[in-house]
Amino acid sequence: MEFFQHLSSGIVLGCIYTLFSLGLTLIYGILGLVNFAHGELYMLGAFLALFAVATIGMNYFFGMIFAVVMMAIIGIVIERLCFRPLRGMHDTSVIVSTIGLSVLLQNLAIYVFGADPQRLTTDLTEVMVRFFGLAFSLQRILIVVVTVMLILLLNYFSKNTKTGKAMRACSQDLTAAKVVGININRITLITCMVGSALAAIGGGLVAPLYLVSPVMGIKVVVKAFAVVIIGGLGNVPGAILGGFLVGISESIAAGMISSHMRDGVAFGILILVLLFKPEGIFTKRIQEKV
C-alpha cells in the first residue's frame, strides 16, 4: 500500500516535471536554444497566480487563467527582445544570455514580490479524497487531470491544426520550413507563448502544494534539464515520458529507500542515459552529417 501511495505522489510530481519540460523541449526543438530562464517562467507563473488570488481576490480558477494569460504575453515579449536577436548565434552566447535573463527575472521577482516564501491557500488542498485506502488532496487530482488534458490538447494541436503542423516542420528543419513558406517569426513567437504558458500552468498548479519563492524555479530547472535530456532534446513525447519516469522514480526512491536519494535519482538516470544513449531514450540515433 505504501508503494502505491509513493507511486501516486510520483505521478503528481511527474505531471509537474512534464508541464515544465514540455515548454523547455518545445523551445529547444524550434528555436534551437536551451532556455536557462525557463525556471523563472514557472516561478513567475506561480507568483502571478498567488498575486491574483491573494491580492486581487480572484478565485483560484480565474487566478490561474490570469497567470497563464500574463505569462503568455511575457513569453512573447521575451521572444521578441531576447530570443530573436540570439537566433543563429553560438551556444555560448545563447546560454550566457538566457542565464542573464534568468538572473534578471529572478531579481525582478524578489523586488516585486519579496524574497520570503509565501503560501497560496485554496479550498482544494484541504479536501481529501480516499479510495482503495489511498488519500489524495483534490489539488493533486486536479494536477493530474489538467496535465493529461493539456497533453491531449497539445497532441491535437500539433497534429490537426495548420500552426501545429508548421511548428513540427520548423522543429525538423528551420530552413526547409522557411523555403516552403512558413512564417518562422510567427512560429517561434507562438512556441514561446505556449512554452511560457505551460510553465505558468505548472507553477500555478504547484503553488498551493509547495511554498512560492523566487528561487523555486532554479530547483526545478536543473531537474527539468535532466528530464529533457533523458527524453531527448526537442522530443515532445520523450519529455512527457521522461517527466513521469523521473517523477515516479524520484518519489519511490525517496519514500522507500531514503529521502536523501531524492535529488540524486534524476542525475543518476541522467548519467546512465548520457553514458549509454546520449541522444535520449526515446530518440532514434541519427548519424551526424559532415
Partner 1 sequence: MKTRSKLIYPVLLIAAVAVPFFVESDYVMHTLIMSAIYALLTMGLNIITGFAGQLSLGHAAFFGVGAYASALLTLKMGMNFFLAMSCAAGMAWVMGVMLGFPALKLRGPYLVICTIGFVQIMHEVFLNWISLTRGPMGIVGIDYPPTLTLGSWTIDFSIPLNYYFLVLVFAVITFVIILSLLNSKLGRALKAIREDEIAAECAGINLTYYKLIAFSLGAVFAGIAGSLYAHYIGYISPDSFVLLESINILVMLVLGGMGTMIGPVIGAAGVTFLLEYLRFLAEFKLIFYGLVLMVVMVVAPGGFWGFITRLGFAPPGSKDR
Closest CB 288 distance from partner 1, rounded Å = 8
Closest CB 204 distance from partner 1, rounded Å = 24
Closest CB 184 distance from partner 1, rounded Å = 17
The rounded distance, in Å, linking the Cα atoms of 30 and 36 is 16
Nearest residue (CB) to partner 1, 101 versus 197: 101
The rounded distance, in Å, linking the Cα atoms of 104 and 77 is 14
Nearest residue (CB) to partner 1, 44 versus 205: 44
Closest CB 140 distance from partner 1, rounded Å = 27
Q: Which of 17, 212, 13 is nearest to 114 (CA)?
A: 212
Q: Which of 109, 101, 76 is nearest to 195 (CA)?
A: 76
Nearest residue (CB) to partner 1, 90 versus 130: 90
Q: Could you give the 3-state DSSP secondary structure of residue 174?
A: helix
Nearest residue (CB) to partner 1, 89 versus 145: 89
Closest CB 156 distance from partner 1, rounded Å = 29
Instruction: Say which DSSP state 135 is in.
Output: E
Q: What is the binding site for partner 1 (CB under 8 A)?
A: 28, 34, 82, 85-86, 88-97, 99-108, 110-111, 222, 225-226, 229, 233, 260, 263-264, 267, 270-271, 274-275, 278, 288, 290
Strand partners, 118: 212
Q: Which of 147, 149, 156, 152 is nearest to 204 (CA)?
A: 147
Nearest residue (CB) to partner 1, 195 versus 204: 195
Q: Are 237 and 245 in contact (CB under 8 A)?
A: no
